[in-house]
């Protein structure tokens, strides 16, 4: 009888993830909620597993993959419970014949909801006003009390028009917003019409938008896509929203732009050196800061966890994983 495969789950994930894995193999799991193993601990535990179920906060680099590829049993697959996979050295995995999968699609609506929530929160100063009330400072209505910016009929600029960007555009239509977008690949005319999108070069988008929302993947080409020059092009009344990846924004440049009142504010769910945040941002009332929760609804996280497990099960059963990032490993 063949030995059951060994599966490592690196962090505490929704309960729905475990039964499919336990059906096919022996599961070793980090069950302490919120605990992220340091890299050296991950490197110690990883080798000797057939499959690894990981998350975006796990560093799956070439050194780790090589150690797992040279161990017995040999690592066959890394299943990432995230749409992004910049935490994994996919090139090294492919060279070593290790499959990599992700969990796209299921989090798009939930992330778009949060992006729009951030936009409204920072525009209408909702967190700032809520802190004011909790501090016992509310003494009655006033004509200038926490006046903010209107969202309806404003211009929204989307950097990235993939799944999430297009869904944000759908949300914006309910607020009768004009929506510009910039992407490396322009959408077909019929998609632009469906989502009421108008293409604009990046500089033009930055100059014209009242809100700029980032929905691009993190790649070498998007590192610090928004830096000092780009921020200087924005209106002094404009807001920057980021629910994509932190390093897309030069965080120090953002701090300087906010301090100089080059832009009106920002709403951030991700950070350049996450979980570290530029200290100045923590002191600013015109910045809304969230702890990377864009996909954090029960339904969505359950779907993501189950999708990651199903990718492993499919590979184990000799089927093509539904969300395989590097199909060339299958030959």
Catalytic residue flag (residue 292): yes
Instruction: Give φ, ψ of 224 to 5 degrees.
Output: 55, 35
SS3 of residue 276 by DSSP: strand
The alpha-carbon radius of gyration of the chain (Å, integer) is 22
Contact 244, 214 (CB under 8 A): yes
User: Can you tell me the distance from the alpha carbon of 277 to that of 252, in angstroms, rounded to the nearest whole number?
Assistant: 10
Burial class (CB in 10 A: 0-12, 13-18, 19+), 164: buried
Sheet with 6-9, side-by-side order of all strands? 26-29, 6-9, 51-54, 77-80, 99-101
Catalytic residue among 4, 163, 224, 292: 292
User: Can you tell me the distance from the alpha carbon of 36 to that of 56, in angstroms, rounded to the nearest whole number?
Assistant: 11
Catalytic residue flag (residue 44): no
Catalytic residue among 245, 272, 278, 301: 245
Catalytic residue among 204, 228, 274, 280: 274
Q: Where are the beta strands (DSSP E) in 20-123?
A: 26-29, 51-54, 77-80, 99-101
Q: What are the residue numbers of the active site? A: 245, 274, 292
């Amino acid at each position: 009888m063949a030995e059951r495969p060994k599966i490592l789950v690196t962090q505490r994930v929704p309960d729905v993830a475990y039964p499919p894995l336990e059906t096919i193999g022996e599961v070793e799991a980090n069950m302490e909620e919120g605990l992220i193993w340091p890299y050296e601990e991950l490197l110690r535990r990883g080798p000797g597993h057939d499959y690894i179920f990981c998350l975006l906060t796990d560093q799956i680099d070439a050194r780790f993959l090589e150690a797992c590829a040279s161990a017995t049993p040999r690592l066959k697959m890394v299943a990432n419970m995230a749409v992004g996979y910049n935490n994994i050295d996919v090139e090294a995995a492919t060279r070593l014949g290790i499959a990599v999968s992700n969990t796209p699609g299921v989090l798009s609506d939930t992330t778009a909801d949060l992006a729009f929530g951030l936009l409204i929160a920072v525009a209408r100063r909702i967190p700032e006003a809520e802190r004011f009330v909790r501090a016992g400072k509310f003494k009655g209505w006033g004509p200038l009390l926490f006046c903010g910016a209107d969202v309806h009929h404003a211009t929204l600029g989307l950097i990235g028009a993939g799944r999430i960007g297009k869904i944000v555009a759908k949300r914006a239509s309910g607020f009768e917003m004009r929506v510009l977008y910039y992407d490396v690949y322009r959408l077909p005319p019929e998609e632009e019409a469906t989502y009421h999108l108008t293409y604009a070069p990046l500089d033009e988008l930055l100059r014209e938008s009242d809100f700029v929302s980032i929905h691009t993947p993190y790649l070498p080409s998007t590192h610090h896509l928004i830096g000092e020059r780009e921020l200087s092009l924005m209106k002094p009344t404009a807001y920057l929203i980021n629910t994509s990846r932190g390093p897309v924004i030069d965080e120090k440049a953002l701090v300087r732009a906010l301090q100089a009142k080059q832009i009106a504010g920002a709403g951030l769910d991700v950070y350049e050196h996450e979980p570290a945040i530029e200290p100045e941002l923590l002191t600013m009332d015109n910045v809304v800061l969230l702890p990377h929760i864009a996909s954090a609804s029960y339904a969505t996280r359950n779907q993501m966890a189950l999708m990651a497990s199903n990718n492993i099960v499919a590979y184990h059963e000799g089927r093509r994983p539904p969300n395989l990032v590097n199909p060339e490993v299958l030959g």
